[in-house]
Structure 1
Amino acid sequence: MYLVSRTETFAKLFFIVSFTGLFMYVALAFYSFHTAYTTVSQIGKFQENSKIKNYDAVVERFEKDLKYILVWSSNSEQAETLLQYEGQEAFIERDCPEINCYITTNKTILNDDYVNFDAIVFNMSIFWQPGGFSKLPERRAKRQKYVFYGMLPSDSHPICNLRVENFFNWTWTYKFYSDIYSPFIEVKNLVGNVVAPNRNVIWKNDLRTSTKSDAVRVSTKTKAVAWVMDKCGPKIYTMFGLTKLRKALKQFNLTLDVYGCGNLNCPEGGCAEAIQKEYYFYFAYDGSMAEDYVTTEVLKAYLNDAVPIVVGGADFTRFLPENSYINYHFYTEDKLAAYLHYTITNPAVYNAFFNWKKYYTVNKADEFKGYCDLCKLLNDKKKFNTFSTYENFRSWWYYGSLKDKCLPKGTTKLSEITAYLNETVRF
């Protein structure tokens, strides 16, 4: 009797376990089928939604997607600098902090609508082209960032048109206070870290101490100052009193030799070699007195073992190693000539100008770094979701008198003035 009861108990347990297992199997199969069906359905919905013009909703949902940067088309040489990096590869190759960005000049790749781009970069040359403003976007999304790209000096390239006010969200220029700061040169320490340009740079405190090894570097030099003119024009030659400087140098049997633009021709080995072997100093004029504007012109001196005589509107202490240059604006022509003669005739004084080489290198900055910074900004949720524009952009770009820069000379008729300014009616 006990055996029969026990057998019945095992049979009941077996039935319960079997039934439970069958139920779980059916439930699991149903769940798997439902999940697969739901996934396919959601993919179908995304594919359908991707055709919708409201690109903001898609980006909001898929935060890991690429950030798309449109370089607004322009035929200028300056714009070509921006257009040479098509795609995403450059972000990866240059090891940018953020690499999920894509550059293009094709306005139609995102559902055939440029409103879908995260950022649109406008080269400043667009605003001088005939009818340039008529070629700007007719529509824009509030979430988009309009970026002003300008690497030409603001004092000779002001933006006069009133339409640029409240137009740009971010700026990308050589100015320190740009959202994306893009200098022409950079100073690195020997470890490879960028030291300058920097608003608060601290240089080594022994840069005025000369070393004997530097004497070998200048042993072949016999001439005072060289200047290689890349841009021609009588104004460039006369505006800084170079005739006076030449006259002052002549009193010490020193010369200022100008190459190019109808002056001297570079020797067979090239001007760079001549500077390195023959000249103590190089006249480094950037062609502008704009604030923060320091171009690669100084590299003609630094890379060829000459001391640059810098001319410009920048605070050079933020850009170049201390005691590695002479600031033209600190002297009269007579005093500058006397100082150059003094340094040439005192090797210890002259050699001290090269002491920076024990600590730093000076080279051209990477042009693509601006794109890296732009990609980083696009990935910064707080900054990207904050809407702001440059309300007084024209004054931010050029802080001088726009009336003096923008009004045509000799014009008296109001109709001619307004036509010239292309909608600009307020200064």
Structure 2
Amino acid sequence: MDYMTLRTYKKPEFKSLGCPVSNCIYTEDKSLADKSDAIVFIARSLGRKPKKLPHQRWVWVTHESSCYSGEAGGAWAGMFNWTMTFRRDSTIFTPYQFVVEREKPLAKNFTAIALKKTKLVAWMVSNCHTKSNRERYVAELKKHIPVDVYGGCGPLKCSKRDNERCLENINRDYKFYLSFENSISTDYVTEKFWKMLDRDIVTVTRGPANYSRVGIKPEWHINTNDFKSPKDLAAYLKYLDKNVTAYVQYLEWKNQYTTGNRLKAYCDLCAKLNDPSEPVTWFRPGTLANWFNKGHCIAPKDLNFKRRKRRQTDTFIYLDGHGVLIF
């Protein structure tokens, strides 16, 4: 219940979640397993396998990247019918969070907010050795622009107990925040992005190539995939630092949108269980691992920092939507 963020709801009924199809209930009482239409299993904590009844859908849930998660074998092989993951092609798409339109738009003056910021780039991080090699990328980025590193991997300390206070200080003082994933995996966008969405800061992302697949528009963040090198990214961030109009364009959308939770995914699950046309599907032994892992843990391709010496005639151009800046 904690993992699925359902414990905070008073009644275990899908009506309390506001689902269009709501004749479902949820429980963590394992004695009711043989009466259930679906059982949801967290991939990394499967425990002892219960008896599976013919009418049941078993649902495999994970929010670990394809680099760190895989199908359990042995007695669990071939047991699952549906998937609930951050992957867009899951049976039930369940990202860390959703973007939703605000019922009442805000009216923040982001220009005034931006002009009060005194620092450039911040990064909070505690895992210093990752499959994405984000630490190498940031080391190169720091050669071209100041990056203040908080947490276990940097000189600026911020304990988990003080996490919220640190985030608020970063939100107040910095223009950019690095939301770099620990591994590059298809559709894998974690809290590193989502925790900054409702804050007055521009997020720089490094993760899957196509954030649009999971509902994150290009104009909502700065994607390292759009730059040939950390040096080019640094040049663009410096440009935005000097051009408040262009910088604010990356913030103004936050007046219209906010973060939503996973309830939509649970509503989709209830609707599927009620749909008589929903086909009977299952993952044969090995096919779930093949679907989730094969080709979806992606090696970084942006760590070759050797560049030819710039000739006097070389010109670098950035388009910002309003004009052209030439380097």
Fold similarity call, TM over 0.5 = yes
CA distance, structure 2, for counterparts of residue 245 and residue 180 of structure 1:
37
> Which digits, 9 at most, give the CA deviation of each residue in 1:398-424, with x for residues without a partner?
12399xxxxxxxxxxxxxxxxxxxxxx
The amino acid across from 1:389 in the alignment is W
The more displaced of 148-157 and 231-240 is 231-240
1:146 lines up with 2:37 in the alignment: no
Match of 2:118 among 222, 226, 240: 222
Correspondence for 1:334 = 231
Gaps (5+ residues) in structure 1? 1-70, 72-78, 193-210, 250-254, 403-427
Greater RCO, CA 8 A, separation 6+: 2
SS in 2 for 1:96: coil
1:159 lines up with 2:71 in the alignment: yes
Correspondence for 2:157 = 265
Report the alpha carbon displacement of residue 165 of structure 1 after superposing the two structures with TM. Answer: 4.4
Correspondence for 1:115 = 34
Correspondence for 1:136 = 49
Report the alpha carbon displacement of residue 280 of structure 1 after superposing the two structures with TM. Answer: 0.9
1:102 lines up with 2:25 in the alignment: yes
Contact in 1 for aligned 2:66/2:296 (Cα 8 Å): no
Flag the 1:396–1:238 CA change in 2: closer, same or farther, 3 A.
closer
> Which digits, 9 at most, give the CA deviation of each residue in 1:137-167, with x for residues without a partner?
2x32221111111122122222352655432
Contact in 2 for aligned 1:88/1:103 (Cα 8 Å): no
Flag the 1:164–1:140 CA change in 2: closer, same or farther, 3 A.
closer
SS in 1 for 2:40: strand
Flag the 1:340–1:167 CA change in 2: closer, same or farther, 3 A.
same
Report the alpha carbon displacement of residue 101 of structure 1 after superposing the two structures with TM. Answer: 1.7
Determine what percentage of the aligned residue pairs are the same residue: 29
1:361 lines up with 2:257 in the alignment: yes
CA distance, structure 1, for counterparts of residue 274 and residue 290 of structure 2:
29
SS in 1 for 2:170: helix
Report the alpha carbon displacement of residue 368 of structure 1 after superposing the two structures with TM. Answer: 3.3
> Which digits, 9 at most, give the CA deviation of each residue in 1:151-207, with x for residues without a partner?
221222223526554321111111111111112222223458xxxxxxxxxxxxxxx
The amino acid across from 1:299 in the alignment is W
SS in 1 for 2:26: strand
CA distance, structure 2, for counterparts of residue 227 and residue 168 of structure 1:
38
Greater fraction of residues in helix: 1
Q: Which is greater in Rg?
A: 1
Contact in 2 for aligned 1:288/1:313 (Cα 8 Å): no
CA RMSD of aligned residues (A): 3.1
CA distance, structure 2, for counterparts of residue 159 and residue 244 of structure 1:
36
Gaps (5+ residues) in structure 2? 298-327
Flag the 1:172–1:302 CA change in 2: closer, same or farther, 3 A.
closer
CA distance, structure 2, for counterparts of residue 164 and residue 396 of structure 1:
16
The amino acid across from 2:92 in the alignment is I
The amino acid across from 2:202 in the alignment is V
Correspondence for 1:371 = 266
SS in 1 for 2:29: coil
CA distance, structure 2, for counterparts of residue 90 and residue 227 of structure 1:
40
The amino acid across from 1:278 in the alignment is D
Match of 1:171 among 59, 83, 94: 83
The amino acid across from 1:107 in the alignment is K
Q: 1:22-421 maps to which residues of 2 (within 5 A)?
A: 80-81=3-4, 84=7, 89-109=12-32, 114-127=33-46, 132=47, 135-137=48-50, 139-159=51-71, 161=73, 164-191=76-103, 213-229=109-125, 231-235=126-130, 239-249=135-145, 255-261=146-152, 263=154, 264-266=156-158, 270-318=165-213, 319-331=215-227, 332-358=229-255, 360-363=256-259, 365-383=260-278, 386-391=279-284, 392-400=287-295
Report the alpha carbon displacement of residue 351 of structure 1 after superposing the two structures with TM. Answer: 1.9
Flag the 1:105–1:266 CA change in 2: closer, same or farther, 3 A.
closer
Contact in 1 for aligned 2:102/2:258 (Cα 8 Å): no
CA distance, structure 2, for counterparts of residue 310 and residue 184 of structure 1:
15
Contact in 1 for aligned 2:134/2:182 (Cα 8 Å): no
TM-score normalised by structure 1 residue count: 0.60
Flag the 1:183–1:212 CA change in 2: closer, same or farther, 3 A.
closer
CA distance, structure 2, for counterparts of residue 401 and residue 89 of structure 1:
35
